[in-house]
Amino acid sequence: MFVLHLALLSCAVTALANPPHLTPITGPFKTGVVNLPLTDYSRKDLFAPNNFRKLMVSIYYPTPEHNNNPTSYITPAVASIYEAQLNLTSGSLTTVVANSKKNALPLLVPNSKRVIFSHGGGTSRLIHTALLEDLASYGYVAISIDHPYDANAVQFPDGSVILRDPSNFTTDLLDRWYRQRLDDIYFVDGLTGDFSIICPTVQARTAALVAGHSFGGAAVAGAMIESHRFIGGFNFDGAFWNNSIAGDAVKPFFIMGGSVRIPAGDTSWDTFRAAQTGWNREAIVSGIQHFGFTDFPSLIQALGVPRTQGILDFIGTIAPDRAIQIQRTYVKDFADWRFGKGPGRIVAGPTPQFPEVSFVPPP
Ligand SMILES: *[C@@H]1O[C@H](CO)[C@@H](O)[C@H](O)[C@H]1NC(C)=O
Ligand SMILES: *[C@@H]1O[C@H](CO)[C@@H](O)[C@H](O)[C@H]1NC(C)=O
Ligand SMILES: *[C@@H]1O[C@H](CO)[C@@H](O)[C@H](O)[C@H]1NC(C)=O
């Protein structure tokens, strides 16, 4: 009995002292995060027409507070889906801690700028934490939106969960997901009130940059094309859809893809680029796969998951740290340039610093 207790105790202490950790942030500021449920009382949900549209956002921002008790950052609802899909130990993803302190006091960074992020189809706002908290560590306020019914699982603070809409893939379903995403992006961009109390560093309706993964990359392009309200867009490996297939974003737009085009044979990047009157670039990262543009390289490494063929097909053969570094460096360089804080040298074209990133000439 006594021995058993000791063993349990030492186990618990070890787990607390050294939990698996997302890639450390690299900027000068410590970071905080608020996970906020929001309701848009100006529209009904296209998938729950009796209800106003509600969603979750994570807001990452600079803070003076040290994160002395890092906690789990992926909700159990989201974790269990990926654990099943990737054959990971049940509960393992929720053991990973991120860098940002929950509900930390915001630090007033003069001239702080916003980056709004839209996740991929059937994924989650949470799996872009390594990218977005790093931006916050450089003074940005980064806001990751969950798009309920399209996200795999959105868990609200009261414990309720909205799962992905189960209907089969149809053009109509994709168009509705897409329409709702654009309106979610405008809603989050236009937030004042509660939002500016939580993030007083951000003046409401100052310029914002949009970025997204996969279907979210298409959505941010569509939002730029439709609304003209964003100063730049960044698409991680997303085939364009609906108005983004041949619309003009006018403002600068960066596309970053992996070794394999998804879906195979997709030509929407060419049609999109042919329609641009503004600055645009398309860069291909060799050795990276679709989910290499998420937290998963870092998660797999933190958990010591063997790099089986299934895992390599998911994230690519690229070194995990490198995948995270590329996401962070290119988005930050693009944002710094668009907000007048840097020359945008890295997003402009090939650089010896990143030999695995090649630039595709315009079509
Ligand atoms: C979805 O549609 C495809 C193509 O018609 C079909 O093969 C598949 O069985 C359908 N899946 C479900 C869950 O209905
Ligand atoms: C975009 O989706 C809407 C539905 O939200 C649809 O009416 C429209 O035809 C679609 N446009 C294109 C170009 O596919
Ligand atoms: C998980 O296991 C299934 C069944 O063995 C296999 O088909 C799949 O490739 C595995 N996935 C990964 C990511 O290893």
Q: What is the pLDDT of residues 307-356, one digit of tens each?
A: 999 999 999 999 999 999 999 999 999 999 999 999 999 999 999 999 99
Above pLDDT 70, what percent of the chain?
91
Q: Tell me, in angstroms, the distance from the centre of ligand 2 to residue 241's CA.
A: 9
| Average pLDDT over the chain, rounded to an integer | 91
* 329 CB near ligand 2 (under 6 Å): no
What angle do the packed helices 129-136 and 320-338 form, to 10 degrees?
50
* 307 CB near ligand 3 (under 6 Å): no
Residue pLDDT, tens place only, 274-289: 999 999 999 999 999 9
* Local confidence band at 113 (pLDDT 50, 70, 90 cut-offs): confident
List the domains of the chain with CATH numbers.
3-359 (3.40.50.1820)
Residue 6 has pLDDT above 70, yes or no: no
* 311 CB near ligand 3 (under 6 Å): yes
Which has more pLDDT, 41 or 2? 41
Give pLDDT, residue 17: 62
Give pLDDT, residue 312: 97
Instruction: Say how many CA atoms lie within 13 Å of 306 toward its Cβ.
Output: 5
* 243 CB near ligand 2 (under 6 Å): yes
Q: Distance between CA 316 and CA 319 in Å, rounded?
A: 8
Contact 244, 264 (CB under 8 A): no
Q: Tell me, in angstroms, the distance from the centre of ligand 3 to residue 125's CA.
A: 24
Rounded to a whole number of angstroms, the CA Rg of the chain reads: 20
What atom in ligand 3 is closest to the CA of residue 86?
13
* 206 CB near ligand 3 (under 6 Å): no
Give pLDDT, residue 191: 78
Give pLDDT, residue 276: 98
Residue whose CA lies nearest to ligand 2 atom number 12: 242
Residue whose CA lies nearest to ligand 3 atom number 2: 87
* 31 CB near ligand 2 (under 6 Å): no
Distances in whole angstroms, Cα of residue 119 to Cα of each of 90, 122, 178, 283, 303: 23, 8, 12, 19, 23
Residue 108 has pLDDT above 80, yes or no: no
Give pLDDT, residue 298: 98
DSSP three-state, residue 303: helix
What mean pLDDT do residues 47-68 have? Answer: 95
Q: Distance between CA 175 and CA 242 in Å, rounded?
A: 7
* 220 CB near ligand 3 (under 6 Å): no
DSSP 150: T
* 308 CB near ligand 3 (under 6 Å): yes
Instruction: Tell me the two tokens of residue 262.
Output: 């998804």
Residue pLDDT, tens place only, 200-252: 555 555 789 999 999 999 999 999 999 999 999 999 999 999 999 999 999 99
**120-134, 164-178, 255-269: which has the highest mean pLDDT?**
120-134
What mean pLDDT do residues 7-36 have? Answer: 76
Distances in whole angstroms, Cα of residue 113 to Cα of each of 46, 141, 270, 344: 31, 6, 31, 16
Q: Tell me, in angstroms, the distance from the centre of ligand 2 to residue 179's CA.
A: 8
Instruction: Tell me the two tokens of residue 286.
Output: 């060799």
* 117 CB near ligand 3 (under 6 Å): no
Above pLDDT 90, what percent of the chain?
83
Give pLDDT, residue 268: 98
Residue pLDDT, tens place only, 67-78: 998 999 999 999
Give pLDDT, residue 4: 36
* 112 CB near ligand 2 (under 6 Å): no
Q: Tell me, in angstroms, the distance from the centre of ligand 1 to residue 173's CA.
A: 13
Q: Nearest bound ligand to CA 245?
A: 2
Give pLDDT, residue 1: 31
Give pLDDT, residue 281: 98
